[in-house]
Structure 1
Amino acid sequence: MNLNEEVEILKGVPLFSKVEPAKLKLIAFTGERMHYAEGQELFHQGDVGDAMYVILGGTADVLLETPGGQIRVAELRRNSFVGDIAILCDVPRTATIRAREPLTTLKISKDMFYRLVSEFPQMAIEMMRELAHRLEDTNQKLRAATKAA
């Protein structure tokens, strides 16, 4: 995948949709491309969070450790991003991310992420929207689980 293809993918990520193409090229250039085989973990629940990841290709599962074992709570596909909570809140990783199939990501360091947010306040708004959507989705799942119990 070349730089221009990565910029096109970044345009499709809501977090970066309002960022000008020249800056997207900088993000793509400075980010680290990471490749994962099926079953390989990007990170594990409880790890220290030092970066966020944008999914460039492939699919990954979001897994939570529970007393009954790991449960799959979400799926990540191209244009998804993950790892943001740990770098925003300075908390350990809240979930394990495992490649379901060969996966390619763009790893964006915590420092670069904060520079981008300070330069593009719209990114902060898009981040809040995404976090609000995730919270609502979690609330719906909790309501459903409570009704089923």
Structure 2
Amino acid sequence: MANVDLFNREASIGEPFSADDSELLFVGGDAQTMIVQNLSVNYRQNITRLWEIGSDKQYFVSGHQEGDATMARVVGPKPVAGEFMKQYGDVCNIQSNHITFVVKGDCSTKGGRIKITGVVITQVSYSMRAQDMVINEQVSMLVAKVESL
């Protein structure tokens, strides 16, 4: 009970780090000019469960892995947005299309990267709100592979 707070709960401080150094890397463009507000990636493997007739055995069969991603950004004046659409919207570029999350380390570790490869845009939508008159873009993408580097 040496490290309890006012509510009789333990309170300790974890390793500090700064999110300011995190970044997104895109093929052919600078993430800072894209005004990305959110990037969400889902990656899954399909598993089929099979039962054997006359037995209590279960079998699990691994299928293909697949993923998808969504990105929300503010449409800005930079031409890099058009380059992003040209690069990631063309299915012929899918082998070279990747997005990398770069997470800088804390005070005692070096951080890491998550690389998303085989990315292609499948849908784009736009919206604008009266209170800020900013054009928002939502992009849906298919993802072939996610790996930790």
Structure label with greater radius of gyration: 2
- Does the alignment reach a TM-score above 0.5? no
Q: Which has the higher contact order (CA 8 A, sep 6+)?
A: 1
- The TM tier, using the shorter chain, reads under 0.3
- TM-score (normalised: structure 2): 0.22
- TM-score (normalised: structure 1): 0.22
Higher strand share: 2
